[in-house]
Amino acid sequence: MRLCLLLAAAGLVCAQSKPPKPFHSDASSAIDYGSAADGSETVVIQNVSYEVSGTGVVGRPADERLLLRKTIRSREVLGDIGVEASVTLDAWRFGDDLSQKPLYTFTVEGTDGHTMDNALFVAARGLEEVEWWSVYRLGSGQHLFDTDVPLVSFSISRETVKTRYVGFAASPDDSTDARLKQPNVVGVITYAAGDRVVREALITCDDPNQAALLRSYADAKRTLAAADHTLKLSFSRNYPSPANAVEVRIPLRGDDLDLAHAQLAPKLHITAWRR
């Protein structure tokens, strides 16, 4: 009886690991150029690319791969600042009929996007002079968080790879969250795993003028780094002003931010926060 069960289980594994049937799919890339009577020149581009993920996509069955189709559409008036652009990501289980509805699809304003660690899709959102990024779960297409510093990744374990991600988003003037419109708010730091946000923390400043400076895209530069189980977020003035760097250091305790032992410059505070 045991032998029969083992043979049946082996047959099931073989059936599950059987490679998909051969398939073919293509999608057109295109470019259009035109000029108007006022002398303006416009370029419209559509680029399509395919990618096959590795196995072990966070949130999906361990032996499953995803087939991803990324479509970037852009419209630019040559010589003008900024561009109209969007990124669309469609995802299927590798081997599924591509004429069927994707597992998920989403479109976001942006200029490009890339997968990261078989866990995330990171879309570049900066359409004008300000760079920022939106982070999505690769397994489901769910939006996790935004960051206006390059996404930082690191492992919290020396024995195994246990990757975590950190970003920081300065509070925008047009935020739809009334809490982020308070004059003392600087921004939100996000600590996440590949499938969930673990912790968000709000940084504020007692001096509203300094808070406005630290969250300004035009006047301040922000950098984020992780080393020795500590996150370091730095703010500095843009040239030609003196740098006058301001730092926030947040230690990690286990798999979380240790906000109680954070080290902050005078007048700055950090508290747990949730969207």
How confident is the model over 75-129, as pLDDT tens digits?
999 988 878 999 999 999 999 998 899 999 999 999 999 999 999 999 999 877 7
Question: Using CA of residue 6, residue 9, residue 14, residue 15, what is the dihedral sign?
Answer: positive
What digits encode the pLDDT tens for the residues 43-75?
Answer: 999 999 999 999 999 999 999 999 999 999 999
For the residues of 119-163, what is the DSSP string, one character each? TEEEEE--SSS---EEEEETTT--EEEEESS--EEEES-SSS--E
Closest by CA to 70, choosing from 122, 127, 143, is 122
- Residue 9, pLDDT > 60, answer no
Distance CA 250, CA 100 (A): 46
Residue 171: band (very low, low, confident or very high) from pLDDT cuts 50, 70, 90: confident
Residues 6+ apart with CB under 8 A from 99: none
Strands of 220-227's sheet, edge to edge?
A: 220-227, 230-237, 246-251, 263-264
For the residues of 210-237, what is the DSSP string, one character each? HHHHHT-TTTEEEEEEEETTEEEEEEEE
Please check whether residue 185 is in contact with residue 229, taking contact to mean a CB–CB distance below 8 angstroms: no
pLDDT at residue 218, as a whole number: 85
What digits encode the pLDDT tens for the residues 30-46?
Answer: 999 999 888 889 999 99
Distance CA 98, CA 105 (A): 13
* Strands annotated E in the chain: 30-35, 41-52, 66-77, 84-93, 104-109, 112-116, 120-124, 133-137, 143-147, 152-155, 163-170, 185-192, 197-205, 220-227, 230-237, 246-251, 263-264, 268-273
